Amino acid sequence: MRFRKLKQQKQDKKPSKVKILYAKYPDRVKALITDMFMIYMPIMFLITYAFLGGKDELQDSTIAPMIATIIYGVIYALFLSKTGQTPGKKAYGIKVVIYKTQEKVSFFMGIWRFIAFLISATSIVGLLLPFFRKDNKALHDLLSSTIEIIEDK
């Protein structure tokens, strides 16, 4: 067999890379806002009016917002571990997966991603990082080795 034919056979056997469609940052922000209104606000409402008795008690409490955030984080992690999407992410066709394997995240990885998101949201670096990356990864995506991709239909 000629060298040229052998070389062509080698090139044909190379595995083709799967093209990943990264979620756009504006869609990710819209999904976050949707999740805040669909999940976090009802939790805050319940805590405010069912357990505390009104907005004045909520404003005086330091632990109530923390409890609401913890409950929201657990619900967030449950959604990610079950389907890979929260309601807001589903509305915009976004799915959270592990970066290297493109598989769903586990519950504990979802909890870690939420904690990393809280860290990321408090720093200017965490908010601006997606604007400087081709894959739109935020700081919490880098810390948790996840990525938000466009869901396959």
40-71 pLDDT per residue, tens: 999 999 999 988 888 889 888 889 999 999 99
3 pLDDT band, cuts 50/70/90, is low
| 70 part of a folded domain | yes
Q: What angle do CA 64, 34, 152 make, to 5 degrees?
A: 130
Residue 84 resides in a domain: yes
* Separation in Å, CA 99 to CA 1, 102, 105, 107: 41, 6, 10, 16
Residue 124's pLDDT is 82
Q: Which regions of the chain does DSSP assign to beta strands (E)?
A: 94-98, 146-150
Does 15 reside within a domain? no
pLDDT over 80 at 86, yes or no: yes
Tell me, what's the pLDDT at 127?
A: 80
Any domain includes 113: yes
- Residue 128: predicted pLDDT: 87
Answer whether residue 69 is part of any domain.
Answer: yes
Parent domain of 106: 22-150
Strand partners for 150: 94
Q: How many domains does the chain have?
A: 1
SS3 5: helix
Please state, in angstroms and rounded to a whole number, the distance separating the CA atoms of residues 24 and 124: 19
When mean pLDDT is compared across 16-20, 57-61, 133-137, the lowest value belongs to: 16-20
Q: Is residue 5 part of a domain?
A: no
83 burial class (0-12, 13-18, 19+ CB within 10 angstroms)?
Answer: middle
Per residue in 20-40, pLDDT (tens digit) is 788 888 999 999 999 999 999
Composition of the chain by helix, strand, coil, percent to 5: 65, 5, 30
**Spatial separation of the C-alpha atoms in residues 118 and 145, rounded to whole Å:** 16
Q: Is residue 41 part of a domain?
A: yes
Q: Is 17 inside a domain boundary?
A: no
